Amino acid sequence: MNWQQQRVLVTGGTRGIGRELVIGLRARGAKVWATGQSATSVQQAQAALPEVVWSVCELHRPASLDAVVEVVRREGITMLIHNAGVQQLRDFTSATAAESLTEHDEVQINLVAPIVLSRAVLPALRERPGAALVFITSGLALAPKQSSPVYCATKAGLRSFAKALRGQMKVHGWPVRVVEALPPIVDTDMTRGRGVRKLPAPAAAKQILDGLAAGRDEIYVGASRLLKAILRLSPALGESIMIKR
């Protein structure tokens, strides 16, 4: 892959895996656009990484999606990385919901927004050599954990969408790569205060970018590779390991 010719838009580039993707893409010579949901977060990212074109995008608001589509069309974006995501621990046995985001918003941000954005940008991407849509799902798309049922459902749904879309591109001969990256638990704000043996975010981003450069359709990051192997040998064992978390 010739990164110098890539014009990449990363959603959720202000923190965590997205921020490391932005840094890695710049180091490889790509031109980068990135979004965050809060103005403060975007201002901080802009100060730290001024060579990136930053904008605020709230994926749960339809008008924000229009702005992202406009950037893709206007700026000749060749690769859209659907990275932004949220995860809420949810206890469906509790009478009162203590989470800060509704189930609807979690589904909107993690699943609906990438689907709607993909449809809107595909006609433009089709015309651009080396174009790609990249979906950051999760090892939890392969087997869910009990503590985040809605999150797991969105990631499994996004994985299924990416697979179907890849098939559709092949059937219709559209030259747009559809890539899925499946990180394991990564050390970011999303997992602060929980989990063990977390993969550092720079290592996760490097594996994703290396996988993209190697032309892979599915990029199993870190321990997700092991999970895939266990699920192949014994789906029951793999699912029982994951569900307790």
Ligand X SMILES: NC(=O)c1ccc[n+]([C@@H]2O[C@H](COP(=O)([O-])OP(=O)(O)OC[C@H]3O[C@@H](n4cnc5c(N)ncnc54)[C@H](OP(=O)(O)O)[C@@H]3O)[C@@H](O)[C@H]2O)c1
Q: Which helix (DSSP H) or strand (DSSP E) does residue 7 occupy?
A: strand 7-10
Contact 156, 103 (CB under 8 A): no
**CB 231 to ligand X: min, Å:** 16
Beta-bridge mates of residue 63: none
- List the catalytic residue out of 3, 33, 135, 151: 151
Contacting residues for 144 by C-beta, under 8 A, at least 6 apart: 152, 153, 156, 242, 243
Q: How far apart are CA 184 and CA 227, in angstroms?
A: 9
Q: Which is nearer to ligand X, 128 or 154 (CB)?
A: 154
Contacting residues for 114 by C-beta, under 8 A, at least 6 apart: 82, 135, 158, 161
Q: Which is nearer to ligand X, 107 or 122 (CB)?
A: 107
Q: How far apart are CA 141 and CA 146, in angstroms?
A: 13
**CB 120 to ligand X: min, Å:** 16
* Amino acid sitting at position 116: V
Q: Tokens 């932004």 sit at which residue?
A: 84
**CB 152 to ligand X: min, Å:** 10
- DSSP label at 198? P
Cβ-count burial of 123 within 10 angstroms (0-12 exposed, 13-18 middle, 19+ buried)?
exposed
Q: Which is nearer to ligand X, 34 or 128 (CB)?
A: 34
**CB 135 to ligand X: min, Å:** 9
Q: How far apart are CA 210 and CA 219, in angstroms?
A: 9
Q: Which is nearer to ligand X, 57 or 128 (CB)?
A: 57
Q: Which is nearer to ligand X, 53 or 190 (CB)?
A: 190
* Residue of this chain nearest to ligand X (CB atom): 16
**CB 157 to ligand X: min, Å:** 12
Judged by the rule CB under 6 A, the positions of this chain that interact with ligand X are 12, 14-18, 36-38, 41, 57-60, 83-87, 109, 136, 138, 183, 185-186, 188-191
Instruction: Mark whether 151 is an active-site residue.
Output: yes
Catalytic residues: 151
